Structure 1
Amino acid sequence: MNEMLNGRIIKGIGGFYYVETAKELYSCKARGVFRKKRITPLVGDQVQIRLDADGTGYIEEILPRKNFLTRPPVANIDQLIIVTSVCDPSPNPLLIDEAIAAAEDKGIEPVVVVSKTDLQSGEWLRVIYEKAGIPFFAVSSVTDEGVEAVKALLKGKITAFTGNSGVGKSSLLNRIDNRLALETGEISQKLGRGRHTTRKVELLKLDDSSYVADTPGFSSISLEQCDLVRKENLQFCFREFEPYRNACKFSSCSHTCEKGCAVLQAVEDGKIHPSRHASYVAMYNEVKDLKEWEMK
């Protein structure tokens, strides 16, 4: 007799999906109908599975997602923690802001964590992101500065971690919970970036209600084409623009260079950090001429 259960995909590898249910963890395959419809189950998906008499599991249904990211490929997350390091590799505010915008566009709370503060100060980044209203934490996996504050932030949530290779995502997660025992890598001085030590996406369970997604290392957190924010939505992904957007002289203002733009005036007055506005302009120019089909 077949048995139907609900659960969450916590790992996918080699065509198998590991689904955590109230009873136990089951290894499942996705039904062929998903492939025909070009639907890929994602880590974080809530699913319904069928267990055959021999214990073989099959994903029968993917329940509606509240959000998903293409890179890292994960669904139903509450917050995206963007880890950057103060050095080795150096931070790039544009790439950080692209990840923040992708999170904002999908209704995910963005958080910026700057690591390796035992080597240099990251206060210049704090100034940028606290002014923008983005939660910001400075951490060191050597001195444990800020680790407990980030750990408290994870309670009761599903959190994705993303950032350049070598910034210390795995080291930070190991300090948060040493049971994770994640592999870490040293920085390659020749390449100027970290070796890719995290090879799969997996939800790591901290307690009954808290999960973190450790995601594959990659050399950039710039977004895949399908995670780019459409130009008409982009202004809403910079939360510090909100008090000024409707005060522009022209309702069609792009907030990039127009006369009478209240957002530009706020930058001039020091109310919006120029680094954030520069990122906005760069992102706007990247997507302004893209056609709809190019963003799918």
Structure 2
Amino acid sequence: MGETTHGLIVKAMSGFYYVQCPEGLIECRARGVFRKRGQDLYVGDNASVELTAGGKGYVVAVDERRNFLVRPPLANLDQLVLVSSTCEPVPNLLVIDRMIAVAERKGIEPLLVFTKKDMADASPYARIYRHAGFAVAEVSNATGEGVDAVRAALTGRVSAFSGNSGVGKSSLLNRVDARLALPTAEISQKLGRGRHTTRHVELFALPEGGYVADTPGFSSLDLERCEPILKEDLAGCFREFADYVDGCRFTGCSHTKEKGCAVLEALARGDIEPTRHESYVSMWNQVMDLKEWELK
């Protein structure tokens, strides 16, 4: 084996992996051992690279992952930035809560960002999620208000952005780092192009440190299909339930309607936000009959 180095896979495209190493960005192929094992390589993997002639190399091993998402294929995320607009379109709180639950299950810290605060008041939504224990930013892409807070939250972390079309995700990323130059809805419509033409996943280094994933976008449906949560695990994905779940009168409490449920008592006192519990009940009802073997 030749000289080896270690780095971060920042891009995967057409069978090539681009690994940011101390020596620079190295274009790599994967050794056949990964194919034999049926093991995929993900952007975000920390990889060992065997260097070859011409400044290229082969990925020969990857470190154990802290977490990963199947779609889009991303590993070792510190943060999932959930972007919603205060209007046009208004936030779908169930969708937001589904995505938060997946992030919590994976050990990825959610950051809530509500855009278009110059057009409508973001504080009612921000209050819900701050009360639930999450970091929240209220942003105007038009004026730049709140963008510094988002930029600070990205510094030193590996982050991915999620948001439906029209919420201002691309505009926000361009505000965070103009070098990204992502096409926005307005620009794309004028040019007659799709809103976001990215077909691969890539991590971009931020000036202050950290990486942000530019992805083709992913929806709550993708996460629901690829990252299902069993009912036994669901309460653990709602962090504001943590102080109460062990105080229920009956073992196996679903926290949906039982007498003596400490979660419902906390809800009645105002310690848990009604919309958050409504989302929990909706998600629980959807997976109440789902069995672990059905996920395999």
TM-score normalised by the chain length of structure 1? 0.92
Take 1:74 and 1:63, find their aligned partners in 2: how far apart are those partners?
A: 14
Give the match for residue 34 of structure 1. Answer: 34
Give the match for residue 8 of structure 2. Answer: 8
1:195 Cα deviation (Å)? 3.1
The one-letter amino acid paired with 2:141 is S
Secondary structure in 2 matching 1:11: strand
Question: Is there any run of 5+ residues in structure 1 with no aligned partner, and where?
Answer: none
Q: Taking every aligned residue pair, what percent have the same amino acid on both sides?
A: 56
Secondary structure in 2 matching 1:10: strand
How many residue pairs match? The answer is 292
> Is the deviation greater in 176-185 or in 15-24?
176-185
* Structure 1 segment 33-182 matched on structure 2, within 5 A: 33-182=33-182
Give the match for residue 241 of structure 1. Answer: 241
Question: Is there any run of 5+ residues in structure 2 with no aligned partner, and where?
Answer: none
Take 1:294 and 1:139, find their aligned partners in 2: how far apart are those partners?
A: 41
Rate the CA distance shift 1:208–1:60 in 2: closer, same or farther, 3 A: farther
Do the aligned partners of 1:185 and 1:197 also contact (CA within 8 Å) in 2? no
Rate the CA distance shift 1:222–1:132 in 2: closer, same or farther, 3 A: farther
Do the aligned partners of 1:165 and 1:220 also contact (CA within 8 Å) in 2? no
1:218 Cα deviation (Å)? 4.3
> Is the deviation greater in 162-171 or in 248-257?
162-171
Take 1:270 and 1:58, find their aligned partners in 2: how far apart are those partners?
A: 56
Give the match for residue 259 of structure 1. Answer: 259
Take 1:270 and 1:25, find their aligned partners in 2: how far apart are those partners?
A: 52
Do the aligned partners of 1:96 and 1:221 also contact (CA within 8 Å) in 2? no
Take 2:205 and 2:188, find their aligned partners in 1: how far apart are those partners?
A: 30
Take 2:259 and 2:88, find their aligned partners in 1: how far apart are those partners?
A: 40
1:219 Cα deviation (Å)? 5.3
* Structure 1 segment 154-233 matched on structure 2, within 5 A: 154-186=154-186, 195-207=195-207, 209-218=209-218, 220=220, 223-233=223-233
TM-score normalised by the chain length of structure 2? 0.92
Do the aligned partners of 1:8 and 1:45 also contact (CA within 8 Å) in 2? yes
Runs (4 or more) in structure 1 with deviation over 4 Å come to 218-222
Secondary structure in 2 matching 1:133: coil
Give the match for residue 273 of structure 1. Answer: 273
Secondary structure in 2 matching 1:203: strand
Do the aligned partners of 1:165 and 1:219 also contact (CA within 8 Å) in 2? no
Residues 54-78 of structure 1 show CA distances to partners (whole Å, capped at 9, x for unaligned) of: 5442111111111111233211111
Do the aligned partners of 1:165 and 1:217 also contact (CA within 8 Å) in 2? no
1:265 Cα deviation (Å)? 1.6
Take 2:197 and 2:53, find their aligned partners in 1: how far apart are those partners?
A: 38
Rate the CA distance shift 1:167–1:7 in 2: closer, same or farther, 3 A: same
Take 1:258 and 1:222, find their aligned partners in 2: how far apart are those partners?
A: 32
Do the aligned partners of 1:163 and 1:221 also contact (CA within 8 Å) in 2? no
Take 1:292 and 1:247, find their aligned partners in 2: how far apart are those partners?
A: 26
The one-letter amino acid paired with 1:85 is S
1:230 Cα deviation (Å)? 2.2
Rate the CA distance shift 1:48–1:160 in 2: closer, same or farther, 3 A: same
Take 2:292 and 2:243, find their aligned partners in 1: how far apart are those partners?
A: 29
Take 1:200 and 1:155, find their aligned partners in 2: how far apart are those partners?
A: 23
Do the aligned partners of 2:97 and 2:276 also contact (CA within 8 Å) in 1? yes
1:247 Cα deviation (Å)? 1.4
The one-letter amino acid paired with 1:42 is Y
Take 1:221 and 1:198, find their aligned partners in 2: how far apart are those partners?
A: 19
The one-letter amino acid paired with 1:181 is A
Secondary structure in 1 matching 2:180: coil
Take 2:16 and 2:224, find their aligned partners in 1: how far apart are those partners?
A: 24
> Is the deviation greater in 221-230 or in 23-32?
221-230
